[in-house]
Amino acid sequence: MRFATAQHRPFTGMRLHIGRSDIARVAWVPRINSFALPAPACHQGWSGLGAGGEITPTNQPVSCRKCQRLAGEPDDPAQHILFALPEPSAP
């Protein structure tokens, strides 16, 4: 119970990171003995309960596209760059 209570303080009103992934919305998921723990609203898979620092709270805006869609936010029309290519040289 102490762990669940301790998780509510940092994640209430915040978003979360799973490792270095996108920033997700927080959903409170019932676990053992009906204690609710923070988890990504989009159900992104991850291992653990957060005790080992697998998830961290953040106040940065949500960047997870699935979380944005679930919240009814419009898709960002910009294509995200995966990696930068060098500019072609003139012949």
How far is residue 38 from each of residues 1, 57, 83, 87, measured CA to CA in Å? 14, 10, 32, 44
* pLDDT value at residue 71: 80
Q: What's the rounded Cα separation, in Å, for the pair 31 and 44?
A: 16
* pLDDT value at residue 20: 76
Of the candidates 31, 41, 23, which has an alpha carbon nearest to the alpha carbon of residue 7? 31
* pLDDT value at residue 68: 85
Amino acid at 46: W
* pLDDT value at residue 46: 73
pTM score of the predicted model? 0.66
Where the chain has pLDDT below 50, the residues are none
